[in-house]
Structure 1
């Protein structure tokens, strides 16, 4: 996708983090924007920001866990703008702890947003984009799914999140190949950020009541939350930089987008373990103090 001016971009999770940066970049490029989020005040702020840059904007409250809400977003997009060119399936949440301590509500919430949100986005919007392509000989389309380096690695106390993001990577690779198979003028990318200062470590601020936990967090969940807060807040690569990397990748038709390419050594090691049928290695190799700190917390409060 080379041309962005006057094209229509749909962004879920558009009220903060990467979604906000995608919206700001899109506005500067002259795009028409559709922003979706569950946090209304954040959504309203980003809407005002991009309108100040001259963008035409549709902003909608949308919980991507629910197919009917994603469908309503698609319907409203087509009614207002008549087309979709760029789709960011970006909404995401995080949750941690020992994997057997994650409740059914944890799984339903994280998979509902991180995985089902992408499934709904691909299932509902891709046919619309294909239909747009049939009526416009100059049509260019692109779909970006936000995964994570957790979609390629499996750190302890991040099980539910890891599972959701591995699924997004697989879905995205399948989408890319299927679009190629039918020779569609639409491509795809998967964004795999590492630790970047966004609001994801505090995503429980928007956790809906229907997937709330009645019990207090376990020791492992509290420890995972503290580690996530520290890692995310101390990240040196900014959300704005990742946003620009992503748009650059769209322009190059680049599928994998990594915020921290230096972390790919860990991915290579994991792939080699799979190919050589070696048991998974130590994820804390070179940072043993992190494992020791986590183990001490778990032993102190079993």
Structure 2
């Protein structure tokens, strides 16, 4: 680190009123011009600390590996412990630094513990990727309350818990940073048969748009990732569903309205990392989403122009 001619200092442990548990000494965090507060241009990923939820597979794993390849130290959170271990191993084989932190993002206390772990191990966090997510097929008329609690618990409350646990500390660091929230094209266009999922992702888009405005004075950027079809295991989300939120198995045909091309997690993660670096709010991965978006806004425009005065 010193060999690159950059000054090294340690983050204050009292950031946001919370130091590392047990008084453990954090790793040094690189400071310099790229870490200046209110910087609205590109940010440097090298030397930063990134936290990625859902990092055991799919987009989350690709995000973790991609950020590590660009010099970030990465904290990987997931309920899939073997998946996390595989991600850590892949990063370390390439000379990167990573650690696994088993976390259910639907549990606020576990996400607070995740933040504690990041501060204890690496002295802070600069890039937060709220990526963990689950999917549920089926019409709203057949959705159970357990379905709602499960999907919103991970997809929406997981993001809320991440923002609540990390953002105040990131502000207190005074080093800027970035928050990436994974939503979906289903958060911009409603698809039949995805009502519970649509609801969670629309909320994440709205949260992200507002958060971007709220965090601008603090030099913290926000991006919202809205992919369509990606080659991940999200179609097998039931494997991680908590027992107390399980329901009787039912036939749930998968909707096809918004699937489009299937991209690799690596290509989607690369787009997201570019957006983090360049501080772009929207990450739209599929050109197939353009026409449905146009139709939606045309209908909105017609509704405004055709209203009776």
Query: 1:186 matched to which residue of 2?
Result: 220
Aligned pair 1:216/2:249, yes or no?
Answer: yes
- Whether the 8 Å contact between 2:261 and 2:286 is mirrored in structure 1 is no
Partners of 1:274 and 1:29 lie apart in 2 by 41
- Partners in 1 of 2:193 and 2:289 — Cα distance? 19
Per-residue deviation at 1:45? 0.8
CA deviation digits over 1:116-171, x for unaligned, max 9?
000001111100100111xxxxx230000000000001111100000000000000
More helix by share: 1
Paired residues of 1:147 and 1:191 also in contact (CA < 8 A): yes
Q: Which residue of 1 aligns with 2:285?
A: 259
Is this contact kept in 2: 1:118–1:168, CA < 8 A?
yes
* Distance in 1 separating the partners of 2:167 and 2:122: 16
The CA RMSD measured in Å over matched residues stands at 1.7
TM-score (norm 1): 0.83
1:112 deviates by: 0.2
Higher alpha-carbon deviation: 108-117 or 238-247: 238-247
> Whole-Å Cα distance in 2 between the matches of residues 50 and 107 of structure 1?
35
**Which of 199, 202, 206 is matched with 1:166 structurally?**
202
Match of 1:48 in 2: 89
**Match for 1:154 among 185, 190, 203?**
190
Q: Which residue of 2 aligns with 1:114?
A: 155
1:107 offset after TM fit, Å?
Answer: 0.5
How many pairs were matched up?
A: 263
**Structure-to-structure mapping, 1:14-93, within 5 angstroms:** 14-93=55-134
- The Cα shift of 1:79 comes to 0.9
Q: Report if aligned partners of 1:197, 1:235 keep a CA contact under 8 Å in 2.
A: no
Q: Deviations over 1:236-271 (max 9, x none)?
A: 421111111111112221110011033122012112
Q: Secondary structure at the match of 2:76?
A: strand
Separation in 1, partners of 2:182, 2:84: 19
Query: How far apart are residue 231 of structure 1 and its match?
Result: 8.0
Mapped partners of 2:291, 2:242: distance in 1 = 37
CA contact (8 A) 1:58 1:77 kept: no
Q: Which runs of 5+ in 2 are unaligned?
A: 1-41, 305-309
Following superposition, the deviation at residue 98 of structure 1 comes to: 1.1
Q: Matched residue of 2:198: which SS?
A: helix
Supply the distance in 2 between the matched residues of 1:206 and 1:186 (Cα, whole angstroms): 32
Q: How does the TM-score come out when normalised to structure 2?
A: 0.82
Gapped runs of 5+ residues in structure 1?
134-138, 279-302
Query: Does the 8 Å contact 1:96/1:102 carry over to 2?
Result: no
Distance 1:155 1:210, change over 3 A: same
